[in-house]
Amino acid sequence: MNQAWKAKAGQFLPGANLTVLPHWERDAVPSYDRAEVSVPGRLHFAVFDFMQMMPGFGGGGLGVSTSTVGHRITVTKTNNGEGGCDVPSGRHMLELFKRTVGYSRDDIRVDRLRSIQHQHSGFGSNVSFNTATLAGLNALFGSPFSPHDMWEMITRNYVETAKDDEHVYFGLETGVGEACLFFGGLVWVDEKHGNGRFLGNLSSENLWVTTAVGNYDTLSTEALRAHGEGADMSGTTEAGFVPTHFVEWQKRYGTAWRNFIEQKLRPALHRNDLFAFLKHGWELNSMSNMKVLEGIFRTDVMREFDETMQREGAVYAGMSSAGPGFYAFSDCEEKAKHLSAVMRHRFSEFMSEMTVARAGQKMSIDVAV
């Protein structure tokens, strides 16, 4: 299906411009009175194809969930006329679900009880919220959709909330974050065939993660500041870097990057060898996410972080998504706490909010009658 029109859609009200594929459509009504969803954030440390990042295209890549941040939402059946959601992207997911199952009553309410604090830091705050919302709706209605169905529905309709807090717009989408939360483990979404299909994941047992929130004031370069005071890597700012920065990177490194994927990453994936897979990450940093963000954030700090984490025993470390969130993986909690202390001691000027948790956890859902 051609999704190119979404690049020109601009801002619109929640519930407009929905994509509903025929094989999603089925009748369903609420089976429960309430569903509560707790969902972690996600780390995204490689995009396979920057030329395919609109909803339904994908972009693909590698990622894992992080329990250092997260959302908690409730979905409730209430009185007719009292439905809705205060978050525009949540209203969009609600309208998508209702249209897909043929439900017309205005009595389903979505509320966000806890939000990821560090938005626009690369931890997937909007991806996690959209995924939690659709998963909660699915649970309330007795689970008419499989996780893969929901993954496809969200990625085809991925939106972010506009700055006016009323409209939404089609955001840059890779399909990785949703897969992390639905399937757990370290997730691989392949773009080799251009359809954003979920390929596989690796068990993340014994994987710990230390995250830190980057400081825009001390990390931003003139390239980012040129987008205005307080510019962050979200919305139109991030989108503006795709053709001018990310695609140029792909033209320069794309062949080497694809060879690296096929010759090193994919074999480790098929062997189901998580730690061998992650050890390739240091080489990955020389041609993927960390390399892409050079010139947007301070290259000297990013390189020193990479070298320091290697020296201090991290399994792998990097910068998540469009930054400026940092992360480091360890094989035990003790090492993860050590890396947290190193970040705090050496990089306090550039990052804060160091947190340690398990990586690769799936969302949890509880329902009640």
pLDDT of residue 57: 56
Structural contact between residues 195 and 60, judged by C-beta atoms closer than 8 angstroms: no
Residues in Cβ contact with 228 at an 8 Å cutoff, skipping those fewer than 6 apart: none
| DSSP letters spanning 171-208 | ----SHHHHHHHH-SEEEEE-TTSS-EEEEEE--TT-E
pLDDT of residue 207: 94
Using DSSP, state whether 330 is helix, strand or coil.
strand
Q: Are strands 108-114 and 84-85 parallel, antiparallel or unpaired?
A: parallel
pLDDT of residue 355: 93
Confidence of residue 1 (pLDDT cuts 50, 70, 90): very low
Confidence of residue 235 (pLDDT cuts 50, 70, 90): low
Going from the N-terminus, what domains does the chain have, and what CATH number goes with each? 9-21+28-204 (3.30.230.10), 208-358 (3.30.70.890)
Least confident of 163-177, 241-255, 339-353: 241-255
Give just the sign of the alpha carbon dihedral 53, 364, 163, 99: positive
Share of the chain above pLDDT 90, in %: 53
Q: What's the whole-number mean pLDDT along residues 67-90?
A: 94
Task: Compute φ and ψ for 360, nearest 5 degrees.
Answer: 85, 15
Q: How far apart are CA 16 and CA 12, in angstroms?
A: 7
pLDDT of residue 14: 97
Confidence of residue 326 (pLDDT cuts 50, 70, 90): very high
End-to-end CA distance of the chain: 39
Least confident of 98-102, 204-208, 239-243, 307-311: 239-243
Angle (nearest 5°) at CA 154 between 168 and 160 = 20
Mean pLDDT of the chain: 88
pLDDT of residue 192: 61
pLDDT of residue 308: 98
Q: How far apart are CA 292 and CA 241, in angstroms?
A: 10
Q: How far apart are CA 64 and CA 133, in angstroms?
A: 19
pLDDT of residue 47: 82
Q: Indicate whether 99 pLDDT > 90.
A: yes
Give just the sign of the alpha carbon dihedral 147, 171, 38, 210: positive
Q: What's the whole-number mean pLDDT along residues 130-147?
A: 97
What's the pLDDT tens digit per position in 13-55? 999 999 999 999 999 999 999 999 999 988 988 888 777 666 6
Q: What's the whole-number mean pLDDT along residues 64-83?
A: 92
Task: Compute φ and ψ for 77, nearest 5 degrees.
Answer: -85, 120
